[in-house]
Amino acid sequence: GENVEQHPSTLSVQEGDSAVIKCTYSDSASNYFPWYKQELGKRPQLIIDIRSNVGEKKDQRIAVTLNKTAKHFSLHITETQPEDSAVYFCAATPPFGNEKLTFGTGTRLTIIP
Amino acid sequence: NAGVTQTPKFRILKIGQSMTLQCTQDMNHNYMYWYRQDPGMGLKLIYYSVGAGITDKGEVPNGYNVSRSTTEDFPLRLELAAPSQTSVYFCASTGTSGTYEQYFGPGTRLTVT
């Protein structure tokens, strides 16, 4: 089955700086890669996703890039703000996998004011 | 639209007791999932369902059972609770094939002592 590795496990950045979180996946057939944000005590919520036919996607201050050859994808957050502090999870799903997601282990992002 | 709802929010069980975690979605989604999230860890899939009457095991099914008699409901049954089942349990759902985005419920925090 699919295996997703996520790095780093913790990340602290100064407010206003950029943050980058990286994930690698094992199944070259995987075709959907979402990123979820989980604030303390809350449910995970989708913040951005990318499909395998696209190399990059942006939504205001967040962007995701995908390198299918290397089987890795990254989340980029620019101009970080205190409300970006949370745990971020990447995930991957292969086609015909009953829409199942395999999650990474998460990155705890702390924005230092 | 309430989305995905879960009950109870919190529960303390004694070792050997049983309970059912309830999950309901009102989005007419075919696919539903149960995850557990241990402290500081990612989400692990327990069971999933692709439609009423159809369920299948995920990554960590031991000690749990599920049923799916309707599109809306997907209860998770814990039999003979053990301390290793102390966790936060999230139910999620997604729509038709190819949609992929999973909507999570608010979670149930379970402690087994």
Q: Is the pLDDT of residue A43 over 80?
A: yes
What confidence tens digit (pLDDT) does each residue in A6-41 have?
999 999 999 999 999 999 999 999 989 999 999 999
**Residue percentage of chain B with pLDDT more than 90:** 84
Mean pLDDT for A50-56 is 90
Q: Is the pLDDT of residue A62 over 70?
A: yes
Q: What is the pLDDT of residue B1?
A: 75
DSSP per residue, B81-108: --GGG-EEEEEEEE-STT--PPEE---E
What confidence tens digit (pLDDT) does each residue in B51-101 have?
999 999 999 999 999 999 999 999 999 989 999 999 999 999 998 666 678
Task: Provide the residue type at A35 as one letter.
Answer: W
- A49 and B56 within 8 Å at the Cβ level: the answer is no
Q: Which of A34, A49, A103 minimises the CB distance to B42? A: A103
Query: Where do runs of H (alpha helix) occur along chain B?
Result: none
A6-A27-A39 Cα angle (round to 5)? 30
Q: Which of B50, B99, B107 minimises the CB distance to A43? A: B107
Identify whether the C-beta of residue A43 lies closer than 8 Å to the C-beta of residue B90: yes
Optimal mutation site among B32, B102, B108, interface A, most CBs of chain A within 10 A: B102
DSSP per residue, chain A: ---EEEE-SEEEEETTS-EEEEEEES-TT--EEEEEEE-TTS--EEEEEEETT-SEEEETTEEEEEETTTTEEEEEE-S--GGG-EEEEEEEB-TTSTT--EE---EEEEEE-
Mean pLDDT for B31-47 is 92
Mean pLDDT for B12-41 is 94
What confidence tens digit (pLDDT) does each residue in A66-106 have?
999 999 999 999 999 999 999 999 999 877 666 788 999 99
The count of other CB atoms within 10 Å of the CB of residue A64 is 24
Identify whether the C-beta of residue A4 lies closer than 8 Å to the C-beta of residue A92: yes
Distance CA(A94)–CA(A109), nearest Å, equals 27
Alpha carbon of B31: minimum distance to chain A alpha carbons (Å): 8
Q: What is the pLDDT of residue A53?
A: 87
Optimal mutation site among A2, A3, A52, A100, interface B, most CBs of chain B within 10 A: A100
Contact residues on chain B for A104, CB-CB shorter than 8 A:
42
Contact residues on chain A for B33, CB-CB shorter than 8 A:
100
- A44 and B45 within 8 Å at the Cβ level: the answer is no
- B33 and A103 within 8 Å at the Cβ level: the answer is no
Contact residues on chain A for B50, CB-CB shorter than 8 A:
98-99
- A89 and B100 within 8 Å at the Cβ level: the answer is no
Q: Is the pLDDT of residue B41 over 90?
A: no
Chain B residue with minimal CA distance to A5?
A: B42
